[in-house]
Amino acid sequence: MQHFASDNYAGICPEALRAFLGANEGHAPAYGDDEWTRRVSERLRKLFATDCDVYFVFNGTAANSLALASLCQSYHSVICHELAHVATDECGGPEFFSNGSKLLPARGVGGKLTPDGVLEVIARRSDIHYPKPRVVTLTQATEVGTLYHPSEVAAIAELAHGKGLRVHMDGARFANAVASLGVSPADITWRAGVDVLCFGGTKMGLPMGEAVVFFDRRLSEDFAWRCKQAGQLASKMRFLAAPWLGILEDDAWLHHARHANAMAQRLAAGLASVPGAELLFPVEANGVFANLPAAVLDGLRVRGWRYYTFIGAGGARFMCAWDTRPESVDALLKDIRALSV
Ligand SMILES: *Cc1c(COP(=O)(O)O)cnc(C)c1O
């Protein structure tokens, strides 16, 4: 049975697995001095069409926390959406690794920050008693499955840079965003003003690992030491790096992301004809958020389905992954329909 709780319930995609196994040959230098790490970094520079600085860490919490810490002093603050993973699901990691930089949540419809919302937080106070805003972080795709268009990223980044702030992007689902928007990775990141991107690998189909991509190389000074101190420097780095080679080859990452997005569309379309079902957010990536009657939600659990309910009462989140089968979506819909009568 496939589940819809999270895209990280899925296994490793074949392209990544092949590349992972392909790296298992003989001896290679450790700690990132290997051929695979060099090649993926080159490959990512090509993908982003710029001379960015790339690091690999084990997971997204570390990627975000360490990236934000590298942009802040302890007395600085980070403006994020109130639903942002960094604020709600990282157990204080960003604050811990930055030695206390405070997260300042801002509101915004559809899980998205706006220039006005960000400006409101910046302009609220400028006195010495307030943690000085230093970073804006955007999640792409957002925690509620919506997307920032390049012009929206650019508008926030322009405001941020004008006020002396840096722009960080949590791209745990960057692949789904790029696939859905149909933009180039460069256009939705550094060309729109993003300084640092945490490019998610795990939810995209890798066994584990995220890439931290610094578009402004001055910001990555000492980042390697930060990773090592945090226990995020893989000694057998080639196994963290190699799967990227597989998934970047022939745009496999985009094909998989497009598929996951299409499965979310299939689910959303099916829900449209279910009485009592109501979509909570536009379905723009691989997540579907819906209000369903409590009896339906309970019934689904009894039938073995796993999903999260974390927004309001009755709201359920269904995530689709690179391997979600149309039949799984249809089976879920069939149970929802059966429970809705
Ligand atoms: C999954 C996710 C992460 C990374 O989480 P880890 O479990 O630490 O790998 C970061 N940001 C968002 C928005 C996510 O959904």
Distance 181 CA to ligand 1 centre (A): 21
Q: State the residue for tokens 């690179």.
A: 322
The verdict on 319 and 212 lying in the same domain is no
Residue 277, domain CATH:
3.90.1150.10
Average pLDDT over residues 80-97: 97
Q: How far apart are CA 268 and CA 290, in angstroms?
A: 9
For the chain, percent of residues with pLDDT exceeding 70:
99
Residues 148 and 33 in one domain: yes
Q: At what angle do helices 238-248 and 35-47 cross, to 10 degrees?
A: 40
Tokens of 247: 């998934």
Which of 234, 250, 266 finishes a domain?
Answer: 250
Residues 214 and 147 in one domain: yes
Res. 341 pLDDT band, cuts 50 70 90: confident
Shared domain for 180 and 82, answered yes or no, is: yes
Strands 196-200 and 210-214, sheet pairing: antiparallel
Do both 200 and 297 map to the same domain?
A: no
pTM of the shown model: 0.97
Task: Count up the domains in the chain and report the number.
Answer: 2
Question: Is 217 in the same domain as 334?
Answer: no
Q: Is 59 in the pocket of ligand 1 (CB under 6 A)?
A: yes
Q: Is the pLDDT of residue 300 over 80?
A: yes
Out of 83, 138, 202, mutate this one to test ligand 1's pocket (max ligand atoms within 8 Å of CB): namely 202
The answer on 258 and 202 residing in a single domain is: no
Does residue 315 contact residue 280 with C-beta atoms inside 8 Å?
A: yes
Residue 143 CA, distance from chain mean position: 8
The answer as to whether 1 is a domain residue is: no
Position in ligand 1 atom list of the atom nearest CA 8: 1
168 lines ligand 1 (CB under 6 A): no
Taking 70 as the threshold, does the pLDDT of residue 312 lie above it? no
Atom index in ligand 1 nearest the CA of residue 7 equals 1
CA of 115 to the centre of ligand 1 (A): 24
Decide whether any atom of ligand 1 lies within 6 Å of the 143 Cβ. Answer: yes
List CB contacts of 88: < 8 A, sequence separation 6 or more. Answer: 143
Q: Is residue 2 part of a domain?
A: no
One domain, residues 67 and 51: yes
How far is Cα 315 from Cα 335, in angstroms, rounded to an integer?
17
Task: Say if CB 65 and CB 272 are below 8 A apart.
Answer: no
Residue 36 lies in a domain: yes
The range of the structural domain enclosing residue 172 comes to 13-250
Residues in the chain: 341
The two tokens of residue 183 are 């933009």
pLDDT in tens, 253-278: 999 999 999 999 999 999 999 999 99
Contact between residue 63 and residue 69 where contact means Cβ atoms under 8 Å apart: no
Average pLDDT (78-93) is 96
- The reply to whether 5 falls in a domain is no
Residue-averaged pLDDT of the chain: 97
Can you give the CATH number for the domain in which 136 is found?
A: 3.40.640.10
Residues 235 and 257 reside in one and the same domain:
no
Number of CB atoms found within 10 A of residue 43's CB: 16
Q: Of the residues 65, 89, 168, 210, which should be mutated to test ligand 1's pocket, given the most ligand atoms within 8 Å of the CB? A: 89
Distance in angstroms (rounded) separating the CA atoms of residues 218 and 261: 35
Q: What is the mean pLDDT of residues 66-76?
A: 98
pLDDT, average across residues 295-323: 89
Do residue 234 and residue 92 come from a single domain?
Answer: yes
Q: What is the pLDDT of residues 145-188, one digit of tens each?
A: 999 999 999 999 999 999 999 999 999 999 999 999 999 999 99
Please tell me the predicted confidence (pLDDT) of residue 2. 95
Judge if 205 and 257 occupy the same domain.
Answer: no
Nearest to 174 by CA among 150, 146, 148, 140: 140
The model's pLDDT over 222-234, given as tens digits with 9 standing for 90+, comes to 999 999 999 999 9
250, 272, 301: which is the final residue of a domain?
250
- 3-state SS, 18-78, equals HHHHHCCCCCCCCCCCCHHHHHHHHHHHHHCCCCCEEEEECCHHHHHHHHHHHHCCCCEEE
Residue 288 domain-assigned (yes or no) = yes
277 shares a domain with 139: no
The answer to whether residue 114 sits within a structural domain is yes
Residue 226 in domain:
yes
Model pLDDT, residue 315: 86
Q: What are phi and psi of 195, to 5 degrees?
A: -90, -40
pLDDT at position 296 is 95
The band of 313, judged by pLDDT with boundaries at 50, 70 and 90, is low
* pLDDT reading at 311 higher than 80: no
Q: Which residues pair with 133 in a beta bridge?
A: 77
In a domain, 6, yes or no: no
Last residue of a domain, which of 235, 250, 265? 250
